[in-house]
Chain A
Amino acid sequence: MIKKKATVSIRECVACGCCMKVCPKNAITIPEGVYAEIDRTLCVGCGKCAKECPASIITLEEVTS
């Protein structure tokens, strides 16, 4: 089955935390203040973070499970 998961371009991430705030599953953390990390086991691919990201560097990637 194909599912969508959010992916962060860590090189471009500014670690602002906008994505973290909107994630309904609390799947996003910014542990060391450098870039956002998405827990793929929690991500449901809703795309809220991608829409919110001010730098538009979060994309939804299709993954097979």
Chain B
Amino acid sequence: MKQKKWYDYLWIASLAYLILGFFNILFAWLGLLCFFIPLIIAIVKGNKAYCNKYCGRGQLFSLVGGRFGLSRKKDIPKWMKSACFRYGFLAFFFAMFFLMLFNTYLVFAGTRSLRMTVTLLWTFRLPWHWAYHGTLFSDGTAQFAFGFYSVMLTSTVLGFLTMILFKPRSWCVYCPMGTMTQLICKAKKLPPNGKQS
């Protein structure tokens, strides 16, 4: 058995994040850490240390799918690990993310009123008004929180589904952040003349 490090417990933070969003949606802003930390590590250090060590979501899937056995532990279908699907999913995720940012902008600009819903799988609008208790700032800050929590909850649900159907950390194969940081690392690995060393 390997000695546990402090970062092996980051799954608690991931779980806490999901739970806190039920009580106060503004906690969703903390999720930006899961966006910026991997990107900064990839850009500055040129590696995927975030995925490899610190990703609490991956640890949560390992724990539930591995230790608790909530996974069939079957191979993921070939198409799901193809570059086509991985980059396609990244592009789709980006598009949905920018749509969310645009909706937030509309609330900031006052063109649209605040929608207190969490959109699951980009389709299903779940009422979530109990988690909003007002904000000191513009309603837009709350709209971003609802939007960002939707992104996080959707990816967790997808991750859990593939965890059950395939291997515990199947989400890692098509995780948009993983794909993006790998792309950054690939770009950093290229020598200046553009040819792979």
| Residues of A bordering B, CB below 8 Å | 12, 14-18, 20-21, 24, 30-34, 52-57
Contacts and interface: CB of A to CB of B under 8 A. Distances in A.
B67 to A, nearest CB: 12
A33 B58 contact: no
Most chain B Cβ neighbours within 10 Å, of A24, A30, A54? A54
Q: Which 5 A-B pairs have the closest CB atoms?
A: A17-B52, A33-B185, A33-B48, A16-B172, A33-B47
Specify the main secondary structure of chain B where it touches its partner.
helix
Contacts, number: 77
Contact of A16 (B169, B184, B189): B169
A47 B185 CA distance: 27
A33 B42 contact: yes
Interface of B: 2, 42, 46-49, 51-53, 58, 62, 75-76, 81, 86, 166-173, 175, 178-179, 181-182, 184-186, 188-189
Contact of A54 (B2, B48, B172, B179): B172
Contacts of B169: 16, 18, 52, 54
Given A16-B175, A21-B2, 5 more contacts: A16-B48, A18-B62, A24-B2, A54-B169, A56-B167
A14 B76 contact: no
A18 B172 contact: yes
B168 A32 contact: no
A55 B76 contact: yes
A52 B81 CA distance: 15
A3 to B, nearest CB: 23
A12 B182 CA distance: 12
A30 B52 contact: yes
Given A16-B51, A17-B51, A54-B76, A33 B182 contact: yes
A21 B48 CA distance: 13
A24 B2 CA distance: 7
A18 B73 CA distance: 14
Contacts of B178: 14-16
